[in-house]
Amino acid sequence: MKIIPRKKFKKQYKKLNPKLKKKTKEVIFLFSNNPHHESLHNHSLGGVLKGKKSISVTADLRIIFEEFNNYTLVIYLDIGTHNRIYK
């Protein structure tokens, strides 16, 4: 799996506190080894985010991404709280 973080993802990641950065790294590692692990709650999105997917870092923190060729390529688009991401 090749993962490419977009500029917006990198910018929002830098704003996270150290504890959330560590948790995000752990989730990214888990995702890269098993994108369908049940703890990630990997699911497709609808509405204006149709065609994109989401995984959970914490109960409120999400990573929005696009996947191509059965997870051969993953582009991280954004990371943020549920309310910020889905507004």
Query: Which domain CATH number covers 58?
Result: 3.30.2310.20
Q: pLDDT value at position 39?
A: 96
CA distance 4 to 24: 15
Q: pLDDT value at position 5?
A: 98
CA distance 52 to 72: 15
CA distance 31 to 36: 7
Spans of the chain below 70 pLDDT = none
Q: pLDDT value at position 87?
A: 73
Sheet (strand 53-56) strand order:
2-5, 73-81, 61-68, 53-56, 43-44
As given in the structure block, the two tokens for residue 73 are 């390529």
As given in the structure block, the two tokens for residue 68 are 């191509």
Number of domains in the chain: 1
Domain of residue 67 covers 2-85
Q: pLDDT value at position 54?
A: 97
